Amino acid sequence: MKRSTKRRTLAVTSAFLLALAAGCGTESGGSDADDDTGSAAGFTPPDLPMKEEMGDMEGEVNILAWPGYAEDGSTDAAVDWVTPFEEETGCQANVKYFGTSDEAVSLMKTGEYDVVSASGDASLRMIAAGDVAPVNVDLVENYVDVYDYLKDRDWNSVDGQMYGVPHGYGANLLMWRTDLVESAPTSWSVVFEGGSEYAGKVTAYDSPIYIADAAMYLMETQPDLGIEHPYSLDEDQLAAAVDLLKKQKENVGEYWSDYLKEVQAFTTGDSVVGTTWQVIANVAQGEGVPVDVVLPEEGATGWSDTWMVGADSPNTNCAYAWMNHIISPEANAAVAEYFGEAPSNAKACDIASEGHCETFHAGDEEYASKLWYWTTPIEQCLDGRTDVKCTDYGDWTQAWTEVKG
Amino acid sequence: MASSQRPGRGILVIPRPGRRSRDRSVLLLIPPMLWLGVAYLGALGALFITSLWGQNDFTGAIERIWTLDNFRDLFTIEVYRTITVRTITIAAVVTIVDAVLAFPIALYMAKVASPRLQRLLVIAVLMPLWASYLVKAYAWRSMLSEGGLISSIAAPFGLESPGYGLVATTITLAYLWLPFMILPIYAGLERLPDSLFEASSDLGARSAMTLRRVVLPMAFPAIVAGSIFTFSLTMGDYIAVRIVGGTSQLLGNVVYDNQGAANNLPFAAAVATIPVVVMLVYLAAARRTGALDNL
CB B44, CB B276: distance < 8 Å: yes
The pLDDT assigned to A199 comes to: 86
Closest chain A residue to B241, measured at CA: A254
Q: How many CA atoms lie within 13 A of A305 on its CB side?
A: 29
Chain A, nearest residue to B77 by Cα: A402
Cα A176 to Cα A10, A186, A202, A204, A299: the distances in Å are: 61, 11, 9, 12, 17
Contact A37 B58 (CB under 8 A): yes
Here the ipTM equals: 0.72
User: Minimal CA–CA distance to A240: which of A255, A256, A226?
Assistant: A226
CB contact under 8 A, A401 and B247: no
State how far the Cα of A306 lies from the Cα of A167, in Å rounded to an integer.
5
Which pLDDT tens digits describe chain A residue by residue (405 residues)?
444 444 555 444 454 444 444 444 444 333 333 333 333 445 678 888 899 889 999 999 999 999 989 998 888 888 899 999 999 999 999 999 998 888 898 889 889 999 999 998 888 889 988 999 999 999 999 999 999 989 988 888 888 899 999 999 888 999 999 999 888 899 999 999 876 788 888 999 998 899 999 999 999 899 999 998 899 999 999 999 999 999 999 999 889 988 888 999 999 998 999 999 888 888 898 899 999 998 888 889 988 999 999 999 999 999 999 999 999 999 999 999 888 889 999 999 998 888 788 877 788 887 777 788 888 888 888 888 888 889 988 888 889 989 988
Domains annotated for chain B, with CATH where assigned, are 78-294 (1.10.3720.10)
B/e letters for A262-300, b = 16+ CB within 10 Å, e = fewer, are bbbbbbbebbbbbbbbbbbbbbbeeeebebbbebbebbb
Burial of B78 per CB tally in 10 Å (0-12, 13-18, 19+) = exposed
* Cα A400 from Cα B118, distance rounded (Å): 51
Interface list for A 2-21 with B (CB within 8 A): 9, 12-13, 16-17, 20-21
- Domains of chain A in start order, with CATH, are 60-169+302-368 (3.40.190.10), 173-299+378-404 (3.40.190.10)
* Interchain CB contact of A24 with B (< 8 Å): yes
Best CA proximity match to B48, nearest among B280, B224, B284: B280
Q: Which amino acid is at B163?
A: G
**Position B56 pLDDT exceeds 60:** yes
With H, G, I as helix, E, B as strand and everything else as coil, classify residue B104.
helix
Contacts 24+ apart (CB under 8 A), A10-18: A12/B37, A13/B37, A13/B41, A16/B37, A16/B38, A16/B41, A16/B42, A17/B41, A17/B42, A17/B45
Chain B contact present for A273, CB below 8 A = no
Q: Burial of A359 by CB count in 10 Å (0-12 exposed, 13-18 middle, 19+ buried)?
A: middle
- The answer to whether the CB atoms of B164 and A254 lie below 8 A apart is yes
Ordered alpha helix ranges (H), chain B: 19-35, 43-50, 69-76, 78-107, 115-126, 133-144, 149-154, 166-190, 194-202, 207-210, 216-236, 239-244, 251-256, 265-288
Q: What is the pLDDT of residue A33?
A: 34
The answer to whether the CB atoms of B254 and A270 lie below 8 A apart is no
Residue in chain B closest to A395 (alpha carbons) equals: B57
CB A93 within 8 A of CB A73: no
